[in-house]
Structures are given as structure tokens and as C-alpha cells.
Amino acid sequence: MPRGADGGVERVPDRLDLPLAEAVELAQRHLDAGQPFHAHEVLEALWKQRPTSERDLWQGLAQMAVGLTHAMRGNARGAAALLRRGRDRVAGYTGDRHGVDLPGVTAAATTLADEIEAAHDVRLDALRLNLR
């Protein structure tokens, strides 16, 4: 998706008013639909609304989603960097996971970043991130 394109999908409101489980599910639906920027917006809303003790979880997941966005735009270097930055933030998180599969997410981010760096390119079909 080129910069500025929204794919015909409405932007996520700054003050997302959904129960936590529904917000995580919405982020996953956006990821599954190939809309990682929209998933990032959902996760960013969570990091701003949830307790500060959960900041690393939501911010790290949001950074991974931005990494996928960079990958879709062909920015391999930025994609790998953000996938790793998000992974590192999430890997250090020790609080309530809220059903998010942190080992799976961190492993997927590592694999994607490694593949992107090795190829200096992005395979769009490989851009998958499952939160649950």
C-alpha cells in the first residue's frame, strides 16, 4: 500500500472505544486483511488508553505493525528495524498478555526481519503476524 493510501478503509478513531478483547481482535482482522497500518492505529490507541504498565506490550505490537507497513511499501531496511524494535519491546514485557501469543509474535517478527534483511527485499506473501 503506497504512503497515504488507506485502501478504502476508514481510519481508526484516536479514542477507540472498544473492550480490550474486541480491540485486539480488530487489530488481528486488519493484519489478516493486509492492513497493518490500521492494525497499528488500533494498537496505538491501546497503548495510549491502557495502564502505563502495559505500554511495552501495546507499543511493541504497534511497532511491529508499522514494520509490516514499511515492508508493504518496499522499505526493507525500515521494516526489519521496526520489526526488531517492536519484538525487543514485547520480549521484555512481563505483565498480563491479554491473550496475545507473545512467543509466537516475537518469533514471527524475528523470522520476518531475518528474511527481509537476507533478501534485501520483501515477499508480500510472507507478511503474516498472528496476535493470538
- pLDDT tens-digit profile of 41-88? 999 999 999 999 999 999 999 999 999 999 889 898 999 999 999 999
pLDDT computed for residue 129 by the predictor = 73
pLDDT > 60? residue 1:
no
Q: What is the pLDDT of residues 34-43, one digit of tens each?
A: 999 999 999 9
Is 10 part of a structural domain of the chain?
no
Is 40 part of a structural domain of the chain?
yes
| 33: number of Cβ within 10 Å | 12
- Return the closest-CA partner of residue 10 out of 28, 30, 32: 30
pLDDT computed for residue 2 by the predictor = 46
Confidence of residue 131 (pLDDT cuts 50, 70, 90): confident
Is 62 part of a structural domain of the chain?
yes
pLDDT computed for residue 117 by the predictor = 87
Is 60 part of a structural domain of the chain?
yes
The pTM of the full predicted model, rounded to 2 decimals, is 0.85
Which residues, other chains included, contact 122 with Cβ-Cβ below 8 Å and sequence gap of 6+? 71, 72, 74, 76, 79, 116
Which structural domain, as residue segments, surrounds residue 114? 20-126
